[in-house]
Amino acid sequence: MSKIKFFHPISFIFFIFLKFVRLTNKWEYYNYNIPQDYWNKKKPFIWVHWHGQSLMLPDSWDYKRQDLFALVSRHGDGNFIGSVLSHFGIKLVRGAGNPKKLGVKEKGGAMALRSMLRVLKSGHSVCLTADQPPGPGKISGFGVITLARISGVPIIPVAASTSRRYELSNWDKFSINLPFGRGSVVWGEPIFIDSRASKREIEEKRQLLEKKLLETFEDSKDKVDNE
């Protein structure tokens, strides 16, 4: 609790910066009818993106129509991230995700999985990254596939980018979006996982998710870089 309080003023400053970047870019939304359809029908979905391309996504959600819960690590930079997300109105599920089993081998992982299943069952959506630290980046793990298979709720990939950005050279090529440019948010088609899916089918769905995330990511960059 003390760490969260310590991060609170810093995270609020960062939150203001993100809002400023959002307001000073000219935004275009692509396939926005996909999440709108779920919001209109009050149906939940699993909102998935790459770890390093997340800063502009919180403002893409319609919080008046549906609550959003985000999986946030219990360690590392999780407290800071959780505090920033809370400023947007995003609720938190604390736990750890690993590339294979959504953190069930880590402290709080199994509890996080159960919490997300309860959230989805209650009609609210959850948000998490397909790739997990320490990497490799942009390689989808099985965690989100497991969640979708058990819950019966579809996965919807999403990506956002800005024409002015700085990309770090770390494991996830983290992108820091900058003001006074153009921005795009691209939503992908829903991906459904059968509860009776075989290991081969699960691997095929994992590869499909990875492919669709890469496509939405590249598409979001192309739309602002090539104009």
Kindly give, in sequence order, each residue whose CB lies less than 8 Å from that of residue 137, ignoring residues fewer than 6 positions away: 50, 51, 52, 131, 171, 172, 173
Domains and CATH numbers, the chain: 2-225 (3.40.1130)
Per-residue confidence (pLDDT) for residue 94, from 0 to 100: 84
Per-residue confidence (pLDDT) for residue 9, from 0 to 100: 84
Per-residue confidence (pLDDT) for residue 108, from 0 to 100: 53
Backbone angles phi, psi at 28, to 5 degrees: -125, 140
Q: Which of 84, 89, 82 is nearest to 16 (CA)?
A: 84
Do 50 and 213 form a contact (C-beta atoms < 8 A)?
Answer: yes
Per-residue confidence (pLDDT) for residue 134, from 0 to 100: 80
Which pTM was predicted? 0.90
Helix (H) or strand (E) holding 161: strand 155-162
Which residues of the chain register pLDDT less than 70? 1-7, 76, 96-109, 227
Per-residue confidence (pLDDT) for residue 64, from 0 to 100: 94
Q: Which of 159, 167, 166 is nearest to 183 (CA)?
A: 159
CA pair distance 72, 85, nearest whole angstrom: 9
Kindly give, in sequence order, each residue whose CB lies less than 8 Å from that of residue 98, ignoring residues fewer than 6 positions away: 105, 106, 109, 132, 141, 143
Q: Read off the pLDDT of residues 113-157 as tens digits, 9 standing for 90 and up.
A: 899 999 999 999 999 999 988 888 999 988 899 999 999 999 999
